[in-house]
Structure 1
Amino acid sequence: MDGFYFYWLGWIVFGLMTFFMPKTIFRAIGSVIVLALLLFVPLTWTYAHYSFSVGFVFLLVCCYAAIGQRAMKQLIYPLFVSIVIAAVYFGVQAFIRMDPVVLLVGPYVVQLILPVCVALLLLRGYKRSIVLVIGMMHGEVFVQIQQSQGMPVLIGSLAFWDLVAFSFIFSVSITWITVVIQQLEKRTVRRHIPPSSIGNRIDKHA
């Protein structure tokens, strides 16, 4: 059932942020965004023969606001990466339309492996997840416009939200794992490398 994984993972994330994260402004804003997204996704807004998920527009604006806090020069590379991810997502969807048999491998794996790999190779840190989502959303817009051909289409279907949920959770998990490994490495180095005694020697002979 389309949207099952999105709602399942969304409520889990909302619960974790609300009850387990420290009381910070990040937790408050994040919880509100997740809850609003869960409420807005089923709502649609129609213009001509295009129907937009309200949640789609809401999340895109939130991602723009998050990434737009950087200086203009620092936005060039994330913008380039988002365009690459959008092109990769569009290419994968076009290939699936020509040869849907590849979905037998696993529909989510086939549709996500290339965009996620591009994000992992070209970006790091929390901004990777945001740029990945922006790129996939841009790609979804291109896919639906190309498929419409004058027919009504929905931009931001529940099936697409499943893909967004999986890709975002995977990207964030990789970021957290990387941070944990780096912290463990620092602690290990501190334990096994004794402090330098050069300062003590200088003091004795002073």
Structure 2
Amino acid sequence: MTNLSNPSLTAPDPAQAASPGRTPLLERLNADWHRPALQFFAVIVLAHWAEHLAQTVQIYALGWPVPQSRGILGLWFPWLVSSEALHYGYAIVMLVALWILRTGFVGRSRVWWNIAFWIQFWHHIEHALLQGQAIYGENLFGRPVPMSVLQLWFPRVELHLFYNTIVFIPMALAMYFHMFPPPGEEAHGTGCKCAWTPPASRKS
């Protein structure tokens, strides 16, 4: 017969039985790993944006034909530009990253991060339409090339440069307010340590 009066003989609490050093990955990404995760993500986003800028320079400054204006990497790897699956895959990765890393943001920074997420959500819908046409071999509106919705009114190169720009701007604002939080928003709810502290404060 079990002695219920002896705490050492009762069943262990599952929460206490779990390893104290083990933290779910998503929690770590929004806590002590938040800064390196954001830095890595920002580098990827900036590199992609730079490719769109290079493509625009090739068209308007260098006068290259649009099919030959493939950015920087596209000069050596043309399939990077022509593959709808790759463009859609990047849109999905960016959307997922914006969603995963959002928990580390609070206050004003969270507002701007959410704005970037919802703009990217629409951007990914546009790429999903393009990918669907590439899969089925039929283009919307009887056009000779795959078409997104806003592409009816704006050229594709300029449109997607615009999309990437308006996603990046609120993202950058979110990271600024995250690193330099306004008064009353200093505490990050998940233990994130991204907020900048003066060197004197670090020594104390």
TM-score (norm 2): 0.36
- Point out the structure with the larger helix share: 1
- Point out the structure with the larger strand share: 1
The structure having more radius of gyration, on CA atoms, is: 2
